[in-house]
Structure 1
């Protein structure tokens, strides 16, 4: 989140998120912790839903999108390149801010956080208070945050790709969403997206498209089928969309590929 345009970056803010999706980047690190409701975040394509007790790290210059679902509030801590923390503390916290990730905080940290947020609400324009609260939070971050949350999920779970492949083949002529694939293996959409990208190396959407092209190439071997019927059977909206996507990603048009 970007603070109001006052010429200064506020060290910490309590923000009510809009329901409309917002997107931007900024030249400083940012720590986000959910305080109320549900918030959707996408950081460089890595999506997740965060609720109270969870948060995310947005590193400098990372493109990110966000929105609230209903009434939602978050706490944001902005960390300009030159912080007031001593060298030792900066070195301790460097591993936390060296990449984008999502995390959970423990119950002890949540209790402390409630007290600090109360102080911030009472003195939102007192930079001395808000800066002190920010430094307290990030100084305790290393001990109370499960920064390896996403990594542990990926190590503990592997997606059964045969189930995914079978579902895509059965539904190849229809629209297939990430949520549907996630449901096949009993995972939440954001967790599935993270695990899939880690395991396969591409996003679920890219994988679905590859499967559609593979199926279309098999159908192109049958000269009795029209390009329009192949496009429909492969799940494309129309022949024009199929031809455009095929040519862009395969380097040749469907008709040329057939010959």
Structure 2
């Protein structure tokens, strides 16, 4: 069976073990998963992943709701990639490894996964996304500065990540992982820098996007989904408490005409 170049899937909660005759890269986009590669186990969180060389036995299980991106590198290479390109990329799979994406690559992985979900049957896009992520991670793995911890909080990069993921559930531990900080360190530094808690900041971002979409004429029920609210009523409650107006009244008053 021909394997896809890249795909977005959720792992079941039941542990499953197997191996395959192609290399595989796994990146956790959302939630937590358990992985075990030939007896070396690790719990992977958002922004983390693993390199699985062909024929390495591995086991995996999802821990609650989760979403991962898998990129497969067939052996031998497909005709769409030259022997030289294949040789360079395949060096990434010399040995199994766990890794954490730097903030820039977390943004890239999130953007690529969004494209794959938008056009799931586009094999050219799947191949392009897979090759892009493989190459970018190869450069990170070869860099001396693979994991830089304790840096000053970069709000601009964090904003990019938040904007790309507002339609999803965004947890504080995801944002902390993105910044290579513990949750307590992240919370403290974030409040010092912005004057608000991460939760308050996220809610403000959701409300700002909701206002934009409502002004553009999107129906409130669709806006709630696009902005990551659990329901239209949840969005209405936050809207009313914060802005003293319901989404529907806001749209009627400020909507583009």
If the length of structure 2 is used for normalisation, what is the TM-score?
A: 0.52
Moved over 4 A (4+): 146-149
3-state secondary structure, aligned to 2:13: coil
Distance 1:147 1:66 in 2: 28
Change (3 A) 1:146 1:40: farther
Q: CA deviation at 1:95?
A: 3.2
> Aligned Cα RMSD in Å?
2.3
Q: Is structure 2 residue 7 aligned with structure 1 residue 13?
A: yes
Distance 2:124 2:2 in 1: 14
**Counterpart of 2:34?**
40
The question of whether the paired residues in 2 share the 8 Å contact of 1:27 and 1:61 is answered with yes
1:128 pairs, out of 109, 124, 130, with 124
Distance 1:88 1:32 in 2: 23
Within 5 Å, give how 1:1-259 maps onto structure 2: 7-80=1-74, 81-83=76-78, 84-145=80-141
3-state secondary structure, aligned to 1:95: helix
Distance 1:69 1:116 in 2: 23
The question of whether the paired residues in 2 share the 8 Å contact of 1:38 and 1:72 is answered with yes
**Counterpart of 1:221?**
none
Distance 1:117 1:71 in 2: 17
Distance 2:67 2:33 in 1: 8
Q: CA deviation at 1:146?
A: 6.9
The question of whether the paired residues in 2 share the 8 Å contact of 1:96 and 1:147 is answered with no
The question of whether the paired residues in 2 share the 8 Å contact of 1:104 and 1:146 is answered with no
3-state secondary structure, aligned to 2:93: coil
**Counterpart of 1:204?**
none
Distance 2:140 2:17 in 1: 29
**Counterpart of 1:189?**
none
Q: How many residues end up aligned between the 2 structures?
A: 145
Change (3 A) 1:94 1:79: closer
**Counterpart of 2:186?**
none
